[in-house]
Amino acid sequence: MQRLLAALVLALGALDSLVAQQPSTSALLNVIPVQGKVHMISGAGVNITVHVGKYGVVLVDTPEPGNAPRVMDEIKKLSNLPLRWVINTSSSPEHVAGNAALVAPFSGRGGAPFGFVGLTRPSVVAHENVLNRMSKPPQGEMPAPPDALPTTTYFLPSMDFSNGEAIVLYHQPAAHTDSDSLILFRGSDVISTGAVFTPGRYPEIDLARGGSVNGLIAALTSILSLAVPEGFASGGTLIIPGRGRICEETDVAEFRDMVVIVRDRVQDLIKKGMTWEQIKASRPSRDYDSEYGANANDGDRFVESIYRSLTQTQRGGRS
């Protein structure tokens, strides 16, 4: 009997581990009005921005593949207009995860996509570095399938188009990655930031995809330059982060200040000739860890990404 119980415990543990690795297709989706023509969907992976405009629906970033039908069901509750554009804020896998799941049904294979009839394939819009990184990802990762790749790219500092109001994409070089874009919905006064801004958790600086700490700080400063507060009261520009709650300009300012302070501490320790192990032991992020929900390992990863970014710069790499 004891052996049977032990075997049952092991089997249940294995099942729990397997379930934990599956996409959150049963998680509750939250559809939140932001302001103007913009909504946010959370619970399907990263935060998804939904803009319902004159010519159709715009999505910023995509859900986990298994959640694509559920997200489309929620979008149909907001509008009967077609999905016209999918914007990727970076090449980070979690931000492009559902590209193929959303786009492939519109490619003429199978029946009516998501219950819609006679619709054309949505355009996938991103900076050209998204296409480059998805086509040639870091070593050990598979290239993205054709349906997942951007079909409209830009290489200038910005790109704009209209969906009944101006939508402007601003490239942020070498931030979270080298392919990040900030998305401004000018009439609704909303900014979608992707992984550049993640309140409540430390940012990821993806060095393998061209990210850097100084570029991240510059991108956060760009958000502040685009956002306009409403005097001394809540309101003004609202900001949709890659993960977490809807924010205002002051939230971004506090987040940027945290990154700057930890960057400066690490830079000072490097100038003193300290090794990575010595810097790690000094815990330069320790007074922020609880505020950003970080355990010791999370803090170490954040600090190490800053250290690696700064030492790359000293060796003549990215800034």
pLDDT at 26 over 80: no
pLDDT digits (tens, 9 = 90+) for 33-82: 999 999 999 999 999 999 999 999 999 999 999 999 999 999 999 998 98
CATH number at residue 146: 3.60.15.10
**Phi first, then psi: what are they for 17, rounded to 5°?**
-65, -40
pLDDT at 205 over 90: yes
Query: Mean pLDDT score of the chain, rounded to an integer?
Result: 88
User: How many domains does the structure of the chain reveal?
Assistant: 1
In a domain, 148, yes or no: yes
Q: What is the 3-state secondary structure (H, E, C) of 120-182?
A: CCCEEEEEHHHHHHHHCCCCCCCCCCHHHCCCEEECCCEEEEECCCEEEEEEECCCCCCCEEE
**The pairing of beta strand 229-230 with beta strand 233-236:** antiparallel
Q: What is the pLDDT of residue 152?
A: 95
Task: Note the Cα 207 to chain centre separation in Å.
Answer: 15
In a domain, 55, yes or no: yes
pTM: 0.87
Please report which helix (H) or strand (E) contains residue 215, including its range: helix 213-226
C-beta pairs of 139-147 under 8 Å, 24+ apart in sequence? 141/93, 144/96, 144/99, 144/100, 145/100, 147/99, 147/100, 147/103, 147/104, 147/107
In this prediction, residue 25 has a pLDDT band, given cuts at 50, 70 and 90, of low
What's the domain range around 133? 21-259
How far is 99 from 256, CA to CA, in rounded Å? 30
In this prediction, residue 119 has a pLDDT band, given cuts at 50, 70 and 90, of low
pLDDT digits (tens, 9 = 90+) for 234-278: 679 999 999 999 999 999 999 999 999 999 999 999 999 999 999
How far is 153 from 188, CA to CA, in rounded Å? 24
In a domain, 272, yes or no: no
In a domain, 164, yes or no: yes
In a domain, 34, yes or no: yes
In a domain, 297, yes or no: no
In a domain, 9, yes or no: no
